[in-house]
Amino acid sequence: MTFESFSVLFWREFDSVRQGAEYFHVKPVTVRRWLRGESDINPMAEKLLIIKSIGYLPNDSRWTGFKVNEERGVLVTPSGREFNPIELESWAYRKDEYHELVRRFGHVEYAPKVTAVAHQKPFRGGRRCAAAPWIPSKQKARN
């Protein structure tokens, strides 16, 4: 990867040098050297940047345009549709239902687009009981 292509891809994915340095687990001065071309770019940093830019999907022409949104945890299609993991799990059943409905009633001309439902994360926190108030042993009532 050339310095120019690394720089273009870097600034497309990161807002600051510090953000990129945290992602690559290096110091900001190292990233600045890579961007200015003063030192060779670490090959693993190149690979990580490519993986981040294509959204953790295989580098295959069939996946061109697909992305993974890390913050929301959804798969984004080239047309902008979003699917969360639970929707993808039930996709086979929906596909079967769709084909049966098309067979019975025909196609719908203008189907409305529905955004992905935000499902709860596997661990939401807040499951612990509230801590009991701490009372020093010398102030505890003796029974």
CB 7 within 8 A of CB 31: no
How high is the pLDDT of residue 18? 94
How high is the pLDDT of residue 83? 87
How high is the pLDDT of residue 126? 58
Instruction: Report the C-alpha gap between 12 and 19 in whole angstroms.
Output: 12
Angle between helices 3-13 and 43-54 (to 10 degrees): 50
Residues of the chain scoring pLDDT < 50: none
How high is the pLDDT of residue 33? 93
How high is the pLDDT of residue 119? 65
Phi/psi at 46 (5° precision): -60, -45
pTM of the model: 0.46
Torsion of CA 43, 48, 51, 54, to 10 degrees: -100
State which amino acid sits at residue 8.
V
62-65 long-range contacts, CB within 8 A, separation 24+: none
How high is the pLDDT of residue 11? 92
Dump pLDDT digits (tens) for 57-84.
776 778 888 888 877 888 888 998 888 8
